[in-house]
Amino acid sequence: MFASPIIVAPMAGGTTTPELALAARRAGAFAFAAGGYRTAASLAEHLAPLRTAGGGFGVNLFVPRTAPLTAADAAALARYRTELAAAAERLGAGLPADLPGPADPKAQDFWDEKLDLLLVDPVPLVSFTFGLAPDSVVAALHAKGTRVVASVTSVAEAVAAARTGVDALVVQHYNAGGHSAAFLPGPSQGAPGVVELVAEVRNAVGLPLVGAGGIGDAATAKAVLAAGAEAVQLGTAVLRSDESGARALHKDALADPAYTATAVTRAFTGRAARALVNDFVRQHSASAPHAYPEVHFLTGPLRAAAAACGDRESLNLWAGTAWQKAAAGPVEGIVKGFLDGL
Ligand SMILES: Cc1cc2nc3c(=O)[nH]c(=O)nc-3n(C[C@H](O)[C@H](O)[C@H](O)COP(=O)(O)O)c2cc1C
């Protein structure tokens, strides 16, 4: 289904560039465009080079939250704003007075308009994360000849996703860098690693599977394939590549032995995500509320100011547990290294 056992992950927020996707594809991987955090117009622009190049590729979208914040989470969000005021002031950043309400197209990550775009001008494959696309969306994409992939983090989520009619699942382990795809409450840590998680899901659903999370070398990728995945999805492994749009501060931090651990935190966005442990993670993880995307919008100016003044201790340095294996250089060499070792 992906025409390659190696997939280069969609990484929203500027990391996935068209150059990264195209170079990964030339090297023999399946590649994604990152549709998250974009308007439809920006997505159309991001996709243009991939459409021109032709051939297979995927587009990834964030499934927006539909429920309002609970009263407890809203109260925790207000307390978190107060807590962040000092950090924002130190960086010379103002925290936004108003956050987009749940129905605001920005809070919905421009879901409707991006789906319209993908239905009017279809692409070969669409993957979703942060939730399940409604059955009607899956059917509409299928009617346009688009394959549909859901991201899951547990057997329960895999079973729920399979019921929506998707064609394949990305099975993301807790070791993954960046945001967790989780959408059902449940234990955050189950299977010890991606190999075991893929094996568990393999026993429960018959769909093609993609293993993701903490895959830093070909030997691990090979074990994930042997456990029943058709492909593996690499994120952190390509973060430092030449074509990655990750900030230099982020790329340098990944190679800096001063960072010795990653942790899953809601401190930056209100949604669980794995990052290098820096001051911001240490200081704010315990109090950060379950409030995505509100916290994402709340901390946005603070993170922008931190990036502008080179303060990596206040930045979201997304990283999976295999971050120390991430190499610099052209993505072609990284992808070939994985392909050659399978
Ligand atoms: C910087 C970064 C951004 C990411 N953005 C997305 C995204 O936009 N959509 C998505 O489905 N997954 C995203 N992910 C998760 C990847 O799809 C993948 O599950 C994860 O990177 C795999 O774990 P690894 O980082 O240990 O390789 C992101 C990961 C990172 C590191």
Q: What is the pLDDT of residues 112-146, one digit of tens each?
A: 999 999 999 999 999 999 999 999 999 999 999 99
Q: Is the pLDDT of residue 328 over 90?
A: yes
Residue 273 and residue 179 in contact, taking contact as beta carbons nearer than 8 Å? yes
- 8, 179, 321: residue to mutate for ligand 1 pocket, most atoms within 8 A of CB: 179
Give the number of the atom of ligand 1 that is nearest the alpha carbon of residue 176.
Answer: 23
Q: Is the pLDDT of residue 62 over 90?
A: yes
Nearest atom of ligand 1 to the alpha carbon of 130: 11
16 CA distance to ligand 1 centroid (A)? 10
Protein residue with its CA nearest to atom 21 in ligand 1: 235
Atom of ligand 1 nearest to the CA of 214: 26
Coil vs helix vs strand at 182: coil
Listed by start position, the domains of the chain span 6-66+107-246+327-341, 68-101+260-316
> Relative to the CA of 151, which ligand 1 atom is closest?
11
Query: What class does CATH assign to 6-66+107-246+327-341?
Result: alpha beta
Task: Report the percentage of the chain scoring pLDDT > 70.
Answer: 99
Sheet holding 273-276, edge to edge: 178-179, 273-276, 262-265
Q: How confident is the model at residue 72 (pLDDT cuts 50, 70, 90)?
A: very high
> Looking at residue 226, what is its pLDDT?
98
Q: Which of 2, 3, 1, 11 is nearest to 178 (CA)?
A: 11
H/E stretch holding 47: helix 40-53
Task: Report the alpha-carbon distance of residue 305 to residue 291 in Å, rounded.
Answer: 22
Q: Give 222-265 pLDDT, tens digit per residue.
A: 999 999 999 999 999 999 999 999 999 999 999 999 999 999 99
**3-class DSSP state of 245:** coil
What's the pLDDT at 189? 76
CA 157 to ligand 1 centroid distance, Å: 18
Look at residue 186 in the predicted model and tell me its pLDDT: 76
Could you tell me which of 197, 26, 199, 51 has the C-alpha nearest to residue 122? 51
Over residues 148-164, the pLDDT tens digits come to: 999 999 999 999 999 99
The whole-chain average pLDDT of the chain stands at 97
